Structure 1
Amino acid sequence: MPPKNTQPKYRQIADYLREGILDGTFPAGQPLPSEEALAKQFGVTRPTVRQGLTELRASGLVEAIMGRGTFARSPHNRPSFTYPRGVRRSPDGQYTKADGIRWNDAEEPTATRTDAPLALADLLRIPPGEPLFTYDALQTADQGRLRQLHRTYVPFSVLLGTKYEETPPPPAPQLYNALAELGHELHFTEYVRTRMPLPDQAQALRLADGVPLLHVLRVTLTAADKPLALEEFHLPGHNLELAFRL
């Protein structure tokens, strides 16, 4: 008698579909069995089926298309979106983002005062607790198909003795040109990792359960490598790739 499968039912469903996608039983681009059919096959409820599908969506093996169903994806498929990273400087000295994407703010970002937490203070090379100007924005593009959370931090100490000592500077990317006007020659370093979203981040980015985030930190530095500002980006991690020109 074969050993009894003791894995949770949602994991059994995920394993069954994963094996079928990888061996060609469910060809890439073709619809998978419906939630109703899988629920009947495994003797479970539809929420259990969805939990199994969520596991595959997080690994990029399935894609849900509104009104059409869930489709198999090849593990070799490229993500739906490629997001070029970096900052360019035009011949007239203006700094612009390299992605060429027109991001729209859901609401106009306003500056708030926060104190630098230890991890960000380390990247900015300032004492923990130093005050920062902070901007938060939920941004969308491509008629809402692309979404990102974007936060900008500027230490008060960077702005001492400048016109922005009393009036907050603009958020990034306009911030780059404001810093250049203060006489800084800029360059940038990015740090990229993945993690699971917090509940409010998942809601803002419309992420299904089990889908990870791409967490990007961009530090703006002077020619002498002194940090001037830091940006934090949270992006969906299941259908997006980042491209860097080296």
Structure 2
Amino acid sequence: MTGSVPSRHRDIADDLRQQITTGRIQPGERLPSEADLADRYKVSTPTLRSALAALQGEGLVEKIHGKGNFVRRPLRKIMYVGGWGTLDPWTAAEAALRVTVRTTTVQAHGHLTTLLNVPTGSPAVEFSCLSFEEASPHGLARIYLPRDLVPAGVLDDESTQREEVKRFAVLSPAPAAIRETVCARLATPDEASALRIGSTVPVLAITRTATDFAGRVVEAALLAFPGDRIDAVFSTHHMIDERQPQG
């Protein structure tokens, strides 16, 4: 009897998975309520939720707060262009992709002091950006600039530079160098919550820093994309030091 609950939630997940993969339940379709599903399968709500959690972790189902559980639509991939540090301008400009931006003034602590190479407590501005395709999150970016380096007007909602923010782009004018560290790892709890993915789903994580010609870090960014929703392309660019006379 001790193994009945675990096997039961696996049986439910298997049944729902089959219905989804065979098309009996269509992409974008809302599943019955948790109470209705629990009644249908004759199980407790916690057991039913364990089954749904397994499907959410596989990326087949996503739970939208206040609306219910939905079969996840196959999402087209977007492209991150390394070196320039931006979402591809064509995919980023498509109407289906929208980005929410929240701006906050913060004090640098912990990892952020290392990224920006500033003393603890130094003021910085955080741009927290979340991209969506329809109702499904596509990518998360947290871009940090030292407060004294924030370009004029970028904090205004109507600023033309707001479009750069929405492309997860480097905001600092003409940095001398951009360094990007890329790794695949499991999502953090905050990332899993924001991107509505399971904690076992891998993300492509990019840590980006931009420096000026004096070596000062002028911007740092932490980006995370579910692994099945992103392609990253990196090209080599020759940066020109505008201070040097050109022959």
TM range (shorter): 0.5 to 0.7
CA deviation digits over 1:12-45, x for unaligned, max 9?
A: 23433566799xx77833448987577555x413
| 1:131-183 deviation digits (Å, cap 9, x = unpaired) | 2122234443x3343454432211247x3xxx95x876756836636421xxx
Structure 2 Cα separation of the partners of residues 27 and 152 of structure 1: 37
Q: Is 2:180 the partner of 1:220? A: no
Aligned-partner SS, 1:151? strand
Distance in 1, matches of 2:49 and 2:10, equals 13
CA deviations on 1:192-231 (whole Å, 9 max, x unpaired) are: 43334349x83x65x3776768473432334877533122
Alignment match, 1:76: none
The code of the aligned residue for 2:173 comes to: L
Aligned partner of 2:219 among 211, 229, 246? 229
Structure 1 residue aligned with 2:81, among 79, 86, 94? 86
Is the CA contact 1:113–1:132 (under 8 Å) kept in the aligned structure 2? yes
Distance 1:156 1:187, change over 3 A: same
The answer for unaligned runs of 5 or more in structure 2 is 26-30, 156-160, 235-247
Count of residues in correspondence between the two structures: 210
- Partner of residue 29 from structure 1, selected from 22, 32, 52: 22
Q: Indicate if the aligned counterparts of 1:135 and 1:171 stay in contact, CA closer than 8 A.
A: no
1:243 to 2:231 alignment: yes
Q: Alignment partner for residue 107 of structure 2, among 115, 130, 152?
A: 115
What is the DSSP-based 3-state SS (H/G/I as helix, E as strand, rest coil) of the residue aligned with 1:44?
coil
Paired residue for 2:136? 145
Query: In 2 relative to 1, CA 227–217 (structure 1 residues): closer, same or farther, beyond 3 Å?
Result: farther
> Matched residues in 1 for 2:163 and 2:109: separation?
20
Whether 2:49 is the aligned partner of 1:98: answer no
- Which amino acid counterpart does residue 176 of structure 1 have in structure 2? V
The answer as to whether partners of 2:207 and 2:221 remain within 8 angstroms in 1 is yes
Q: CA RMSD in A?
A: 4.8
Q: Normalization by structure 1: what TM-score?
A: 0.58
User: Alpha carbons of 1:144 and 1:53: their partners in 2 closer, same or farther (altered >3 Å)?
Assistant: closer
Which AA in structure 2 matches 1:29? Answer: T
The answer as to 2:176 corresponding to 1:185 is yes
Is 2:188–2:199's contact at 8 Å kept on the other side of the alignment? Answer: yes
Whether 1:44 aligns to 2:47 is no
